[in-house]
Amino acid sequence: MTQTNATKYGMVIDLDKCTGCGACMVACYSENNVPFKKDESNKLDSINWIRVFKISNRKPYPDTEVCYLPMPCMHCGGIGDHGHSPCVSVCPATATDYDHSTGIVSQIYTRCFGCRYCMAACPYHARKFNWWDPVWPGDMEKYLSPNVSARMRGVVEKCSFCFHRYQLAKDRAYHEGRHQEPLGENEYQPACVESCPAGAMTFGDLNNPKHAVYTLKKNPHAFRLLERLQTNPKVYYISSREWVRRAGDNYLSHEETGSIKRAAANHH
Amino acid sequence: MKIDRRSFIALSIGASVGIHISPAPWKLMDDAAIWTQNWPWTPVPERGEVSYVRSVCTLCPGACGIMVRKVNNRAVRIEGMKNHPVSSGGICPLGLSGLQYLYGPARVKTPLKREGKRGEGKWKEIGWDEALSAVTGQLADLRANNNPQGVAWIAGSDRGTIPRLIDRFLSAYGSPNFIRPAGAADTLEQAVYLTQGQLGTVAYDLENTNFILSFGAGLLEGWGAPVRMLHLHGKRDKSRTIVQIEPRLSDTAAKADQWIGINPGTEGTLALGLAHVIIKESLYNMEFIENAATGFAGGADKDGQTRQGFRDMVIENYAPESVSRITGVPARTIEDLARRFARADKKVAIFGRGQGSLPGSMSDGLAVHALNALVGAIHQPGGVSVVSDPDFAKWPESSIDETASQGRQQPRIDGAGTDAFPYSRYLMTQLPEIINSASGDAPIKALMVSEANPLYTLPDTAAARKAFDRIPLIVNFSTFMDETAAYSDYILPNHSYLERLQDVPSPEGLPYTVIGLAKPAVKPLYDTRHIGDVVIEMAKTLGGFVADAFPWNDYESFLKDALADHWRQLNGKGFVEIRQPSSELAPYEFATASAKFEFLPSTGTDTGDDKLPAWPQSAPLPIEGDAQRFPLVLIPYDSMRLANRNIANAPFMTKIIDDTILKKQLVSVEVNPQTAGRLGIGEGDTAELSTPRGKAVVRVHLQEGIQPDLLSMPRGLGRWGFPDDWYINDKGVNFNDLIGPRPDPLSGLDTAWGIRAQLTRV
């Protein structure tokens, strides 16, 4: 199951373009029936499938620079893309699994019994736990989308790269007799990518040279987060600023920016 | 039975084996897992047929095209409209939260009459007939007593057919008091009128510019049409330079090619400092200055008095060294910036802080506009121009009666257009002071409010509430319960923006015109009525000439009439794009008396020109507060994640606010670590923030990217008028509680960009 021409969906986020407006987060909430609480300021129990972090170079005024960093689930393939992502490896209930036909790490809510081992294993804090039952005040239950089931108390949830959109696109392709062909680049796009007003996010098949992400991920300024961990994430970032690229990994002071990325590339 | 060691072990082993053979524990565990997930209150959304409705978002004036996804009769999601001429398929977090406004608990579901005291929150549900007859009855009485000018109407905007329908109602009724909030565009509109003699909306051809010099405009934080700006940023390449000038590292500053920290409030001085370098080094546009401008070299004005020319004034007073002392920007930076700006191919300077909802001073507006003139960036590709709203609406003439005619001749209650402020159209921030200082009865007898929330947005909210207390009748057409609605006597709820039909005017700053049509995505959920229908009905009930001014049965037939030839395209496509020449005049033609650009404008009124910013002294206006008691300065900032106008954040919007900005109920004030160290305050500490206008408990967030001795706080929090299950009440502080208005001597518009403050640890 490890043929290199298999579809491998991934994302490239241009941090030079991201303005931190937060549209991706709300796009995700509204697409995936993500619940909300009265107080969402404790980010440890706030459910976000994608969260935009703000990082700083910490230089004094007026040399300060900041950069926004949107973080969805990285859909780690593990070493050699064998699907040994940190979370999948530890799940005792097979509630999360690696889909070799798309490279997407799934989450099946009804299988999850809430041990949160996966949350401890995930180095990116991509997973969130439902500590409470969801409440939609007023008539807000009416806006819930039937494409994604509402989650209940006691389960873990995370970004699915809007897998239901993939399924809908596949259904449509099957209906039109195109089930043998790969999906077109625009047929399947996650909600966050689609809504980004600055066009900072690009999504597609990382293995398909016709898709924009194939070229973008080879940008010399492209990097992934915590590559030293060998998680092999499918979310790439581009930044023209060195301090931002350096913030993407735990560099030792003597290590040159980009050295971890090169080491990881050799390993895979 | 005696339990010895042997039998104890046997029993233990037996029990372990027994438990493992029996399915009961596994079955129970499995059941428990399923049981914890099978709460009947976890909703299962109903499936059904999917459809899309094309519409326009009106949650802010940005006018993005949207597609509302529906399942059966439910709206389930809002998406951006592909290939839309304003938003290009993009959408902002507020627009994406739209369905929470539609289905949220903040909706007013039926007409309400106040029962308790104002703001107490006790209401009686009444029917539309009762509500309308009560309101129109009081309006008819005022007219019968020859006091139609005692009615004022505060609307969110004056553009589009609904505000014009309201204005028509007021005209026929006899009141000159149609009021809306003003912003930086109003200051600039006057600067353009004084220098160019042209009236219209100021527009920037940013898609074609190579150099944007922004004097604090929050280009990526909700300025103009927000999604147009974000899209433009994403399309940016090396051919466009953006320089951001402001005292705080905003998101716009963080994304700019260069961020120049400046002492707050000295932007106009810097603009003239740049002009100094450009003139001294002869980098200005000679063609424009020689052929199309007057007042550059000085000479006699219309009264024969000699006035110093713009050139000599700037050369004399704005040398980089002295400008550097005022602005805190190094002289070398000023020189370098002036050269780069003047030498860029197509360039433009943008005036206005943040989202542009604070008007700012006329001297700053004129200074930035003069800088544009100096480099010839007026009516040029990539520059600044004036767009007038297309006048497609067909309005039948209507005659008014004696009462209305007399009422219309009274001076406006807010003082706009009077001798004191001849060029201002709306001065809402003056209202509280005018009402509070009036002796005897309040000058406003009845106040109508639609799509506006003055008790939240007016500076010095305590004074505003006091003023509203003196108004005998307040009628609100709000869709949502908010601060002003909570203070009203009657609420006649309008349909929400996704339930009503209306035209959407072109957003601010766009160099071409895009008219949109917002169409109902769902049928009205509650017992609400379209404000257009209500206005027409009120006019018909008042009868006589007022009724005659409204020959339409309802808003829809009126709108079809008004949009005329555009109706078909609007109804189908959702928008009409009109690319007109940016001005009816040729690039170097102006509508002033001299037919040239006037660097030294004259007010042209009897009151004389002495109120015009005497250029040489256009030192920054002092801000409010005693520097001894309040050694720090507090400024607001705008964010894409905080709705700061009439409507409050939806739960999704509040959810995306960083925990460094809002933690539990406390909003953070940004402080430079150096200042915090001196004050003995650390990250996350609770502190008391006080200004001459108010006090608040806040959290401290250390931020390197803010000038020392400056504090900054976001606008949009501190809401109290919304229902508790809207999840926004009592979070943070309303910036307007802490600041008061500072009217500009020429325009009367609010110039307050900050206020002196003190921060003490508690």
| CATH code of the domain containing A65 | 3.30.70.20
CB B137 within 8 A of CB B539: no
Q: For strand B211-214 and strand B241-245, is the pairing parallel, antiparallel, or unpaired?
A: parallel
Inter-chain contact A138–B652, Cβ cutoff 8 Å? no
Q: B125 or B604, which is more confident?
A: B125
Q: What's the first-to-final CA gap in chain A, in angstroms?
A: 16
- Say if A47 falls within a structural domain: yes
> What span, in angstroms and rounded, lies between the C-alpha atoms of B714 and B635?
9
Q: Which of A236-240, B378-382, B513-517 has the highest mean pLDDT?
A: A236-240
CB A99 within 8 A of CB A121: no
Inter-chain contact B39–A199, Cβ cutoff 8 Å? no
Inter-chain contact A66–B254, Cβ cutoff 8 Å? yes
Chain B residues near residue A110 by CB distance under 8 angstroms:
37
B593 vs chain A: nearest CA distance in angstroms? 44
Residue A12's identity, in one-letter code, is: V
The confidence score (pLDDT) of residue B238 equals 87
- Residue partners of A227: CB distance under 8 A and separation at least 6: A233, A248, A249, A260, A261, A263, A264
Q: What angle do CA B91, B92, B95 make, to 5 degrees?
A: 85
> What span, in angstroms and rounded, lies between the C-alpha atoms of B320 and B318?
6
Instruction: Calculate the CA B438 to chain-centre distance.
Output: 29
- Say if A4 falls within a structural domain: no
Site from A18, A25, A26 to mutate, B interface, most B CB atoms within 10 angstroms: A26
| CA-wise closest residue to B521 among B505, B493, B494, B501 | B501
Locate the chain B residue with the closest alpha carbon to A32. Answer: B77
Tell me what ipTM this predicted complex has: 0.96
Inter-chain contact A195–B103, Cβ cutoff 8 Å? no
Locate the chain A residue with the closest alpha carbon to B233. Answer: A198
> What span, in angstroms and rounded, lies between the C-alpha atoms of B230 and B227?
5
CB B68 within 8 A of CB B521: yes
Q: DSSP states of B623-643 as a string?
A: PBS-TTT--EEEEEE--TT--
The confidence score (pLDDT) of residue B607 equals 47
Instruction: Report how far apart, in Å, the C-alpha atoms of B525 and of each of A30, A207, B104, B482, B646 are.
Output: 20, 48, 11, 19, 22
pLDDT for B416 beyond 70:
yes
Does any CB of chain A come closer than 8 Å to the CB of residue B261? yes
The confidence score (pLDDT) of residue A110 equals 86
| CA-wise closest residue to A205 among A196, A197, A215, A194 | A215
Which of B130-134, B399-403, B479-483, B624-628 shows the lowest per-residue confidence on average (mean pLDDT)?
B399-403
Instruction: State the number of CA atoms in the 13 A half-sphere of B400 facing the CB.
Output: 19
Cis amide prior to A62 (ω within 30 degrees)? yes
Which of A138-152, B559-573, B679-693, B728-742 shows the lowest per-residue confidence on average (mean pLDDT)?
B559-573
Chain B residues near residue A27 by CB distance under 8 angstroms:
91, 96
The pLDDT-based confidence of A3 (bands split at 50, 70, 90) is very low
pLDDT for A1 beyond 50:
no
Per residue in B1-16, pLDDT (tens digit) is: 678 899 899 999 999 8
For residue B248, give the 3-state DSSP assignment. Answer: strand
Residue ranges in A136-211 assigned as alpha helix (H): 163-175, 191-195
Does any CB of chain A come closer than 8 Å to the CB of residue B637? no
> What span, in angstroms and rounded, lies between the C-alpha atoms of B400 and B167?
13
Q: Which residue is it, tokens 């102006």?
A: B590
Inter-chain contact A137–B99, Cβ cutoff 8 Å? no
Paired residues of B245 in beta bridges: B260
Structure-token pair, residue B53: 């409705």
- Domain of A177 in residue numbering reads as 9-267
Indicate the class that CATH gives domain B185-389: alpha beta
Chain B residues near residue A169 by CB distance under 8 angstroms:
none
For residue B87, the 8-state DSSP code is T
Paired residues of B475 in beta bridges: B448, B490
Q: DSSP states of A24-78 as a string?
A: HHHHHHHHTT----S----TTS---SSEEEEEE--PPTTS--EEEEEE-------
Tally of domains within chain A: 1
Q: Which residues of B437-464 are buried (b: 16+ CB within 10 A; e: fewer)?
A: eeeeebbbbbbbbbbbbbbbbbbbbebb
Residue A42's identity, in one-letter code, is: N
Among the partner residues B77, B91, B100, nearest to A23 by beta-carbon distance = B91
Per residue in B192-233, pLDDT (tens digit) is: 999 999 988 899 999 999 999 999 999 999 999 999 999 999
CATH of domain B632-761: 2.40.40.20
Structure-token pair, residue B141: 């009485």
- Say if A102 falls within a structural domain: yes
Count how many pairs of residues, chain A against chain B, have C-beta atoms within 8 Å.
Answer: 211
Structure-token pair, residue B143: 């007219």
> If you average pLDDT over residues B408-424, what whole number do you get?
93
B364 vs chain A: nearest CA distance in angstroms? 23
The confidence score (pLDDT) of residue B19 equals 84
For residue B475, the 8-state DSSP code is E
Q: What is the 3-state secondary structure (H, E, C) of B528-575?
A: CCCHHHHHHHHHHHHCHHHHHCCCCCCHHHHHHHHHHHHHHHHHHHCE
Q: What angle do CA B194, B200, B204 make, to 5 degrees?
A: 95
Strand ranges (E), chain A: 9-14, 51-56, 66-71, 98-99, 104-105, 128-129, 156-157, 201-205, 222-223, 235-238
Name the percent of chain B lying above pLDDT 70. 95
Per residue in B83-120, pLDDT (tens digit) is: 999 999 999 999 999 999 999 999 999 999 999 999 89
Chain B residues near residue A131 by CB distance under 8 angstroms:
none
CB A73 within 8 A of CB A24: no
- Say if A3 falls within a structural domain: no
Q: Which residues of B374-394 are buried (b: 16+ CB within 10 A; e: fewer)?
A: bbbbbbbebbbbbbeeeeebe
> If you average pLDDT over residues B572-583, what whole number do you get?
78
> If you average pLDDT over residues B56-73, what whole number do you get?
96
- Stated as kind and residue range, the H or E segment containing B164 is helix B161-173
CB B83 within 8 A of CB B89: yes
The pLDDT-based confidence of B492 (bands split at 50, 70, 90) is very high
A51 vs chain B: nearest CA distance in angstroms? 8
pLDDT for B33 beyond 80:
no
- Residue partners of A33: CB distance under 8 A and separation at least 6: A144, A145, A148, A149, A150, A151, B45
Per residue in B588-637, pLDDT (tens digit) is: 789 988 899 999 887 655 444 555 555 544 566 789 999 999 999 999 99
CATH 3.40.50.740 assigned to B127-181+414-494+529-551: yes
The number of residues in chain B equals 762
- Say if A1 falls within a structural domain: no
pLDDT for B272 beyond 50:
yes
CB B592 within 8 A of CB B196: yes
> What span, in angstroms and rounded, lies between the C-alpha atoms of B83 and B88?
5
> What span, in angstroms and rounded, lies between the C-alpha atoms of B93 and A20?
11
The confidence score (pLDDT) of residue B300 equals 65
Inter-chain contact B97–A26, Cβ cutoff 8 Å? yes
Inter-chain contact B37–A155, Cβ cutoff 8 Å? yes
Paired residues of B70 in beta bridges: B51, B75
Per residue in B448-467, pLDDT (tens digit) is: 999 999 999 999 999 999 99
The pLDDT-based confidence of B584 (bands split at 50, 70, 90) is low
pLDDT for B564 beyond 90:
no
The confidence score (pLDDT) of residue B388 equals 80
A259 vs chain B: nearest CA distance in angstroms? 27
The confidence score (pLDDT) of residue A267 equals 67
Query: Taking the C-alpha atoms of B244, B248, B254 and B259 in order, what is their torsion angle to the nearest 10 degrees?
Result: 40
Average pLDDT of the residues of chain B: 92
> If you average pLDDT over residues B695-703, what whole number do you get?
97
